[in-house]
Amino acid sequence: MSALELVCPAGTPAALKAAVDAGADAVYLGFRDETNARNFPGLNFDRDELAEGIAYAHRGGTKVYVAINTYPRAGAPEAWHQALADAARLKADSVIIADLGLADHARRKHPKLRLHLSVQAAASTPEALRFYQKEFGIKRVVLPRVLTVAEIADLIRDAKVEAEVFVFGGLCVMAEGRCQLSSYATGKSPNMNGVCSPASHVAYVEKEGRLHATLGGYTIDSFAKGEAAGYPTLCKGRFRVGETTSYVFEEPTSLNAFALLPELRKAGVTALKIEGRQRGRAYVAQVVAAFRDAVDALDRGKPLPEATLAALTEGGRETGGAYRKTWR
């Protein structure tokens, strides 16, 4: 079994340096526009920053993957095509894509560019994975967060493709790339705009003594005075169904698959992905270092070290997510 590759988020040049210095095997990042799925204000890289970032990463033996993983706008695919061309020109180690048409474009125009399939493509079966390999020469697939560890093991055995799985950070409870809740409430979507529950549509409003966290005018959750008010991520709110109010979709919780690393390794996973391009460099440094220690320990046949990552999870709460069948 070869060592697990640790793929870390770099929302900014500072986070890139932090990840490289903390022992990332690879970092992933995006251009500062709607071509990537973390199109948030103040994040991401312009072309010069990417060139510098790649130089810094490569000096440290770290690879750089460029996420171009939104769906090109109809009639205006130029920004996406340019992103591919620039990633190739600046010698990124791979691009992470989701759109079938863009994959076809990449294969034809940049045949030497290594292609990874984004989680946004939601490829969840051996047939789909083989299809992407055959049609576009996809080398690696970031698996959707809908599969159990057993299903992941089956998938890797059947499809014979490098698999990258999320192990820490924000948790989509819907199949990524197949969710239009955000645009239903705000007009802005992950697939088209690279945003979900965008801050531009968030307002905190006081109503009847409670603080309502609203998104597009919809109360996603409300909090008593003095209670810490969370961010209104659409699928992690408390809603009313019938007589009861509850977290209908998911609690405000983060994925933490740290304890599952031995199982994931046994399942044949190639790479571990840490979510969080919107996070600061201190967070990145701490999480990357913890996973670096864990991967190194596993590689030496040692037990997992103690990790204290709970403080870094959303609301201090964490879940194994879909990796455990009981989550469903």
Partner 1 sequence: MTARRKKAKGTKAGAALTLGPVLYNWQIDRWRDFYFRMADEAPVDTVVLGEVVCSKRAPFFESTIPKVVERLQAGGKEVVFATLALVTNRREMKAIEELAADGALAIEANDVSALSLLAGRPHDVGPHVNVYNEGTLAWLAGRGARRVTLPVELARDQIAAIAKAGIGVELEVFAFGRLPLALSARCYTARDSGLRKDNCQFVCGGIVDGVDLATQDGKSFLAVNGTTTMSFAWAELSRHAEDLRRLGVRRFRLSPQGVDMAAVARSWRDHLDGKKSAAETAKSLAALAPKAVFADGFYRGTVGAEPVAA
- Beta strand 210-215 pairing with 202-207: antiparallel
CB 254 within 8 A of CB 160: no
User: Using CA atoms, how far apart are residues 167 and 254, in angstroms rounded to an integer?
Assistant: 10
> From the list 35, 189, 233, 270, which residue makes contact with partner 1 (rule: CB under 8 A)?
189
Least spacing, CB of residue 98 vs partner 1, in Å: 7
Interface with partner 1, residue 77, by CB under 8 A:
yes
Least spacing, CB of residue 282 vs partner 1, in Å: 32
> From the list 17, 63, 116, 212, which residue makes contact with partner 1 (rule: CB under 8 A)?
212
Least spacing, CB of residue 120 vs partner 1, in Å: 8
Q: 207 vs 219, 230, 232, 246, 288, CA distance in Å?
A: 10, 16, 16, 19, 41
Interface with partner 1, residue 229, by CB under 8 A:
no
Scanning residues 251 to 310, which ones bind partner 1 (CB under 8 A)?
none
> From the list 51, 85, 181, 202, which residue makes contact with partner 1 (rule: CB under 8 A)?
181
Interface with partner 1, residue 45, by CB under 8 A:
no
Interface with partner 1, residue 248, by CB under 8 A:
yes
Interface with partner 1, residue 242, by CB under 8 A:
yes
- Per-residue H/E/C for 215-229: ECCEEEEEEECCCCC
Instruction: Tell me the window of 1-9, 53-61, 232-240, 300-308 that interacts with partner 1 (CB under 8 A).
Output: 232-240
Least spacing, CB of residue 42 vs partner 1, in Å: 24
Least spacing, CB of residue 276 vs partner 1, in Å: 22
- Beta strand 254-256 pairing with 162-169: antiparallel
Scanning residues 97 to 126, which ones bind partner 1 (CB under 8 A)?
98-102, 104-105, 121-126
Least spacing, CB of residue 155 vs partner 1, in Å: 9
User: Residue 136 is which amino acid?
Assistant: F
Sequence-distant (≥ 6) Cβ neighbours of residue 9 within 8 angstroms: 15, 19, 27, 28, 29, 169, 274, 275, 276, 277, 279, 284
> From the list 41, 48, 180, 302, which residue makes contact with partner 1 (rule: CB under 8 A)?
180
What DSSP string describes 260-292? Answer: GHHHHHHTT--EEEE--TTS-HHHHHHHHHHHH
Instruction: Tell me the window of 14-22, 35-43, 252-260, 318-326 that interacts with partner 1 (CB under 8 A).
Output: 318-326
